[in-house]
Amino acid sequence: MTTFDAAFGVAVLGAAGTLPVLAGVGLRLVAIPLAPLGGAVIAAVGAAAELAIGGPFLSWFAGLSLLAAVAVLARWIAHSDSRPWRSGRSTPPVEWPKAAGGGTGRHSPGSGAGPTAVVTGGHWHAVGGVIGATAVAASCSFGLRSLSAPAVGFDARTVWLMRAGWFLQPHRQLLVDMRIPSLELYQSAYPPLVSASTAVVWAVTGAHSYRLGVVVIALLNACALAVAAFAVVECGRLLSGRLLSDGPLSGPASVGAGSGPKTDLPDPSRSRSDGTAKVVALLPLAIGIVAAVLLVVIAFGIVGPFMTNGYADPTWSLAAVGAVAYGLQLPVRQSAGVTAVLLMVVGLTKIEGLAVAVCLILLVTGRRMATMENARRHLWSRPVLDAILELAVVFTWQIAIRITHSRGVATTFAPAGRWSHRIGPTIDALSSYLHVFALAVPVAVVAGLLIPGVRRSIGLANDLWGWAAASSALAVVIGALVTDSGSLAPLLAGSIHRLTEAPALIAWWIIATWAVIASAAPTLHALERARRPQQAPP
């Protein structure tokens, strides 16, 4: 019965988030796991509205969902070109500059450096996406098998699931729960996304069990992981689409085409060459699918039991990885809507997530402004307005708890004189959970030196943006541990594992991306050399 209730509840969250997600993402496979996360954001905003204003929580959730749906439908009616089912909206095209001689070029997309080629990858682009999405979904489902052994974590029981019950109480009782000083639970002021999502499921199913809440949170975690892993598949699709459109199979003037007389008879050698070229072109797609599955396996290993015992840390950490992938790595045209939803999930899940979300919003805005075409520089206000809207959403809960003078609003810091004594033990503790950096940093440096132009050729950003995000997440973790007023030893023993999930997973995502890029680099470089204009003999 719990399985059915959890599936029904997540479907309700997905239904609430479907239209807003489709408006921002289009008819894409990534919208499927993203829709429940969008519904969870609406639930979190509804919880903030209930606390600050009053009224039943479920009414706020339903009202905000209806308001979002009406706004999206009104936009589609007023602007027919914004409808996701219109031509080209289901598979956003990828643009890259073409060099004058037909080569691959060395400029970023949209830089105005020359004419652009547009490709969607056609049949293989769609088939690869379905295969990749199926593989990611299957690997996530396999990882969730640990749900068969019921487990409820301590923080899940005392914070996240208990607050879910508070949101279903009358407003006056909710204020008492949030204000009463004798309840020493400062975490009650933490952002409410997982608690509010659980409250929605409890309300629509009538089953108020910790077991159901744990399963719902685990499914949201799996959705966030699926979105992040699918970004690796997207990288493979971009590279394979580039090779299929720009390589030997793209037309009669392909590399290696003979100059002899034309004939209607089939050329067996040409058929074999085309078959080999197709295999080579599809290699990045295959590597992307494999890397995405491995990333899911690694994520379950890093997160460990927290993935399925009701903790909120995996939710914001996995959403942060997806936000880095889509907002700071993939082409801007394909990523804005996905990034916005994930950033709001990060900021509305936990207090550390709020700090990381602010850093990521600033980085994403900086990247969008840095990659704008020169002719569109006057539109710099668009990314700035998007950032302001995202910040407004992620701070709704903080505003609500300050308006109501809730417990835990004031953050206490250790005296500045003690910070220097806490840095050393904190760094030592972090090093035990961040071994991946010893692999990721050399891989990024070597790959950046050997294959510098491949990322730009398909619109991927420099991975320094990803490293900036990982560094920001790590700085937030170190800052939280060093400045906290509590005893350091219990914090390091009980929280360090969960706090390092985001930077470690970002580093693994960078490694996976370089693996996909490396699979296409030799072919792209060979095509560029073959198409380079030959020097005339003297």
- Per-residue pLDDT, 483: 83
pLDDT of residue 127: 86
Q: Read off the pLDDT of each residue in 268-287 and give the average, rounded to a whole number.
A: 69
| Nearest residue to 39 via CA among 291, 230, 220 | 220
Residues 176/329, Cβ–Cβ less than 8 Å = no
- pLDDT confidence of residue 374: 60
pLDDT of residue 354: 95
pLDDT of residue 118: 41
pLDDT band of 252, cuts 50, 70, 90? very low
CA 321, CA 387: separation in Å to the nearest integer?
A: 18
Nearest to 21 by CA among 458, 345, 382: 345
- The answer to whether residues 223 and 7 touch, using CB atoms and an 8 Å cutoff, is no
**Tokens found for residue 501:** 């999930």
Cα–Cα distance for residue pair 311/193, rounded to 1 Å: 12
Q: One-letter amino acid identity for 507?
A: A
Place of tokens 């809960």: 397
Tell me which residue has tokens 């450096």: 113
Buried b / exposed e along 4-37 (16+ C-beta atoms within 10 A): ebbeebbebbbebbbbbbbbbbbebbbbbbbbbb
Q: Which H helix or E strand runs over 94?
A: strand 94-97
Q: 178 or 243, which is more confident? A: 178
More confident residue, 188 or 212: 212
pLDDT digits (tens, 9 = 90+) for 59-113: 999 999 999 999 999 999 988 888 887 644 444 444 444 433 333 333 333 333 3
Q: How far apart are CA 61 and CA 42, in angstroms?
A: 7
What is the number of residues in the chain? 538
Query: For 401-425, what is each residue's pLDDT tens digit?
Result: 999 988 876 556 666 777 778 888 8
pLDDT > 90: what percent of the chain? 54
Q: What angle do CA 243, 247, 250 make, to 5 degrees?
A: 105
pLDDT digits (tens, 9 = 90+) for 450-476: 887 788 777 888 889 999 999 999 999
pTM, full prediction: 0.87
The upper half-sphere exposure of residue 236, i.e. CA atoms within 13 Å in the direction of its Cβ, equals: 31
pLDDT digits (tens, 9 = 90+) for 501-520: 999 999 999 999 999 999 88
For residues 20 and 517, give the distance between their C-alpha atoms in angstroms, rounded to a whole number: 32
- pLDDT grade, residue 232 (50/70/90)? very high
pLDDT surpasses 90 at 56: yes
The residue among 89, 315, 306 whose CA lies nearest residue 191 is 315
The confidence band for 173, taking pLDDT boundaries of 50, 70 and 90, is very high
- Given a cut of 80, is residue 485 above it in pLDDT? no
